[in-house]
Amino acid sequence: MKVIKNALAAYGLKTEFAERRHKLYRIAYSWSHDASLSDDLVQETIMKAIKNAASLRDVATLDTWLYRILYNCWQDYLRVKGRHVEYIETHDQEQPEHVEIYQQAAIIKRVRNAVEQLPLPLREVVTLADFAGFSYAEIAEIVNVPIGTIMSRLFRARKKLKNQLLEFGANDISEFKLRRVK
């Protein structure tokens, strides 16, 4: 009897669930920042809502009821993953504006592309020196080549990077200098 009652209640609320699916997804995405996880959370929310549709006392509270189910699904996910985290929204006055973030991201993308185009031995050395911060001696030990070879590879890598970055034609990149790590 309970199954039939749930089925009838869920059928009556079918369009209500469908109308709210997009909003549920947006909230789930804002919590998880993962499209597939958000879709899974919304699907689980709707499945639980269909299963327990008969327990909804007032259709006017449908939104609250659905979002509470979504929140419980999210908490269950966090509990299962072992990372029960409390999210606190803060606004930092020191945080750069969106334009600055975009420009920084564009520069980082250009540098990454330039590094990816380097031959492997040069890429290894420049990433160990300039990105990881290792000294010449440490890099020589890691790569198992003489320190003079490390120095020459690093010189050639930086020279190629400089030329590649200047080829992009961006004036703002030309003022950046690759630092020397000893």
Residues 44 and 109 in one domain: no
Among 26, 47, 81, which residue terminates a domain?
81
Residue 93 inside a domain? The answer is: no
The CATH code of the domain that includes 161 is 1.10.10.10
Query: In angstroms, rounded to a whole number, what is the distance separating the alpha carbons of residues 80 and 107?
Result: 38
Among 27, 54, 81, which residue terminates a domain?
81
Taking 60 as the threshold, does the pLDDT of residue 161 lie above it? yes
Query: In angstroms, rounded to a whole number, what is the distance separating the alpha carbons of residues 133 and 180?
Result: 10
Residue 144 inside a domain? The answer is: yes
Location of structure tokens 């299963």: 51
pLDDT in tens, 40-97: 999 998 888 888 877 777 777 777 788 878 888 988 898 887 754 555 555 556 655 6
pLDDT in tens, 127-153: 778 876 778 987 887 778 899 999 999
The CATH code of the domain that includes 9 is 1.10.1740.10
Contact status, residue 121 vs residue 169, Cβ threshold 8 Å: no
Contact status, residue 120 vs residue 92, Cβ threshold 8 Å: no
Provide the token pair at 1. Answer: 């009897």
- pTM of the full structure: 0.42
Residues 17 and 45 in one domain: yes
- Domain assignment of residue 19, given as a range: 2-81
Q: Domains in the chain: how many in total?
A: 2
